[in-house]
């Protein structure tokens, strides 16, 4: 009997229960306390899941991809333990483990599925030794933490170097930096978009333009969005690897989701993804790749994706008195631009609430908002109004004014007043698009929770 492990688990579970009783998520502190008592907690418990463990890392799409994977495995009859809140630092991972084990340390599920922060990858890979790792993409994000994407890449690579040779590494072929992580590695599988109609044309806001092998500028045959696309180096010949799992054809898409034809190795799947946006197509491709790596049948994969629900705050739609409030978490230029493009492509009047904080979880450096293509919003003919809120609302308002949006903006510093005013402006049957950074999302969603419109995120 491992008394130290049992004490750590009991302590963490009690703290988590108390925090949730008083209305907090309890996503990080229980893990911190448990690790103080037993630093090897992760290593001891994670090896007890009979189907092993899966990591999902990268800048954008971690939580949604994890949610899709979870939905597929649950459709397969498996019990999945994961950090549903998106708390992805080592303390958050440990808290998820506390949720998924008994007091004695016995795993309550079949599969451990963890969304992992890029900077946490070296520690997490060392302690857990996952059976599969997904890398979604790499964009500039939280400049105060990562400085630039080269550092992010090195952190992920350091984690991958700690994996066992049998670990399946699942990479985005359309992201040059991510694809480079698979060079000279065994068990690498790629996913990407092959449908040439899915493109936003040439972009000037690329995060990646230089070949990591020889330093020459990449030539893009086509862009999907930002620096994701089909590319090759004119000097050394390095190019996009052919995806093993790819979008063959985008049949249709609307506010509710996308109908896809996916080529999975030598098979074709007719798939419906009930989430809006091209970025969610990438998330679905990653989830399909993981499922096939665990030999889940195609029909189960399709059914699992079709019944998938949005992660809290990520394309989540909340019904409020006959109106729809749609949350899109935003945290960097590439992700923000995709959300703007998605909103722009939808029919109907556009009512928008933008919220910007500069707390640690948001990134204390908010200069990235000047790289967001807010000018696209200025070109929306059906824009009816924008409300800005949050700690840095004034700076967000200033950025929007430089984008040419003046008369449509109202700034309300108090978030409770802001969301109530924003909802009031939307006619019955209309949609309010909420674009918050992380801590703003928690606060705004919390306001709707207290009003009874949505359950707390830890209740699924």
CA atoms of 47 and 279, how far apart (whole Å): 32
Distances, alpha carbon 225 to alpha carbons 148, 261, 267, 385, in Å: 19, 19, 26, 26
- Of 150, 319, 349, 365, which is the active-site residue? 365
DSSP designation for 321: T
Distances, alpha carbon 330 to alpha carbons 343, 354, 441, in Å:
13, 9, 9
If residue 419 lies in a helix (H) or strand (E), which one and from where to where?
helix 415-425
Query: Annotated binding site: which residue ranges?
Result: 211, 214, 233, 236
- For residue 295, indicate whether it is catalytic: no
Give the Cα separation of 123 and 134 in Å (integer).
16
Could you tell me which of 335, 292, 287 has the C-alpha nearest to residue 134? 287
Helix (H) or strand (E) holding 229: strand 228-232
CB 47 within 8 A of CB 164: no
Can you say how many angstroms the Cα of residue 81 is from the centroid of all Cα atoms in its chain? 17
- Distance of CA 291 to CAs 128, 156, 244, 329, 381, Å? 20, 22, 13, 26, 42
Q: For residue 379, what are the contacts with CB-CB under 8 A and spacing of at least 6? A: 344
Binding residues for Zn(2+): 211, 214, 233, 236
Active site residues: 365
């Amino acid at each position: 009997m491992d008394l130290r492990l049992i004490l750590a688990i009991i302590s963490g579970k009690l703290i988590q229960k108390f925090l949730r009783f008083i209305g907090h998520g309890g996503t990080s502190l229980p893990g911190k306390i448990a690790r103080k008592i037993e630093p090897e907690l992760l290593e001891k418990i994670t090896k007890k899941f009979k189907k092993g463990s899966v990591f999902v890392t990268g800048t954008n799409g971690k939580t949604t991809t994890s949610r899709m994977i979870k939905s597929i495995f649950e459709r397969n009859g498996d019990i999945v333990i994961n950090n549903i809140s998106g708390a992805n630092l080592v303390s958050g991972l440990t808290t998820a483990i506390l949720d998924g084990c008994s007091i004695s340390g016995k795993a309550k599920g079949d599969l451990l599925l963890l969304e992992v922060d890029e900077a946490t990858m070296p520690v997490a890979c060392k302690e857990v030794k996952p059976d599969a790792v997904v890398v979604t993409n790499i964009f500039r994000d939280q400049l105060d933490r990562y400085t630039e994407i080269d550092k992010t890449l090195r952190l992920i690579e350091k984690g991958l170097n700690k994996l066992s040779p049998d670990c399946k590494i699942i990479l985005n072929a359309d992201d040059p930096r991510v694809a480079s992580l698979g060079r000279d590695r065994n068990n690498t599988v790629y996913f990407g978009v092959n449908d040439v109609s899915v493109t936003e044309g040439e972009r000037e806001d690329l995060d990646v333009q230089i070949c990591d092998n020889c330093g020459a500028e990449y030539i893009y045959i086509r862009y999907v969005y930002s620096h994701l696309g089909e590319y090759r180096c004119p000097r050394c010949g390095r190019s996009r690897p052919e995806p093993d799992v790819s979008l063959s054809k985008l049949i249709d898409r609307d506010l509710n989701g996308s109908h896809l034809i996916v080529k999975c190795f030598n098979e074709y799947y007719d798939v419906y993804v009930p989430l809006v946006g091209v970025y969610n197509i990438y998330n679905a491709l990653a989830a399909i790749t993981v499922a096939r790596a665990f030999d889940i049948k195609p029909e189960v994969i399709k059914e699992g994706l079709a019944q998938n629900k949005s992660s809290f705050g990520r394309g989540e739609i909340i019904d409020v008195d006959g109106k729809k409030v749609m949350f899109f978490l935003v945290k960097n230029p590439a992700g923000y631009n995709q959300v703007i493009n998605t909103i722009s492509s939808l029919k109907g009047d556009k009512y928008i609430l933008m919220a910007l904080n500069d707390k640690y979880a948001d990134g204390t450096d908010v200069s990235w908002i000047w790289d967001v293509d807010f000018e696209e919003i200025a070109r929306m003919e059906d824009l009816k109004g924008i409300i800005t809120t949050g700690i840095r609302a004034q700076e967000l308002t200033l950025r929007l004014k430089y984008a040419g949006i003046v008369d449509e903006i109202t700034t309300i510093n108090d978030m409770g007043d802001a969301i109530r005013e924003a909802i009031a402006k939307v006619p019955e049957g209309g949609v309010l698009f909420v674009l918050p950074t992380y801590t703003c999302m928690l606060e705004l969603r919390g306001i709707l929770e207290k009003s009874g419109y949505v359950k707390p995120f830890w209740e699924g």
